[in-house]
Amino acid sequence: MSKRSMGYKLVATDVDGTITNENREVDIDVLYYIRRIREFVPIVITTGNNLCVAEIIATLIGASKDYIIAENGGVLKVKDKIIKLGNREKAIEVFKKLKQKYNLVEVNMSNCRLTDVAIKRTIDSKILEKEILNYDVKIFDTKFAIHIVDKNVDKSIALKRLSEHLNIKLDEIIAIGDSENDRKMLEVAGYSICIGYELKDVADICFERRSDAFKHVLNIILKGR
């Protein structure tokens, strides 16, 4: 149910597929609206990228550099503090076992990851999901990489931790995403927006054009002021 009448205090947005296209190129029109939105509320990126990359992205697009959710919720940055919400050893153990059976290749800068293992999409993620049923990990397919993560990791959990730190309610957050790893984040947010239609069952509204989604966010925030 839409809660547009209330004043939102934060926007949480996915990056790949949400701010960028299928080639991971930033949508320039989206940047315009991000710069406008940040005049009123913080914009926090919630990404599958490692923290080093996420910090660069946040700087370049004009999102918050103090608050970042990386590695699909496995890493939460709160100013100078880095909080690990997942156990990377679990992911490494399972990755080693899977690699004995499948030709898995880790993504670039894999050594920078703090809580998960990210591999290239050279295999159907559903095959891996069946292989890990007896392990304390799960699979996130972000359409750009396949992530092996601690079962306790999720963007929604990291967002809840951040909201508690900032002393705001989840109902006061707008969340934007495009794929399955964004599902729970969209479920817990006060207002949720999906790019495309993969998450239409949990989103308040869906947009095909990324810029239309961020324009919509700006309009909501302006109406609430």
Residue corresponding to tokens 């926090």: 44
Element spanning 159, H or E: helix 155-166
How far is 66 from 222, CA to CA, in rounded Å?
24
Cα separation, 83 vs 73, in Å, equals 10
Give the residue from 223, 211, 225 showing the smallest Cα distance to 35.
211
Q: Which long-range contacts (CB under 8 A, 24 or more apart) does 110-113 make?
A: 112/50, 112/51, 112/52, 112/53, 113/50, 113/71, 113/88
In 3D, which of 169, 119, 175 has the Cα closest to residue 147? 119
Report which residue type is found at 136. D
Active site members = 14
Instruction: Note whether 45 and 185 are within 8 A (CB).
Output: no
Q: Do residues 33 and 214 lie in contact, with contact meaning Cβ atoms separated by under 8 Å?
A: yes
Q: Report whether 25 contacts 57 (CB < 8 A).
A: no
What is the phi/psi pair of residue 113, to 5°? -75, 140
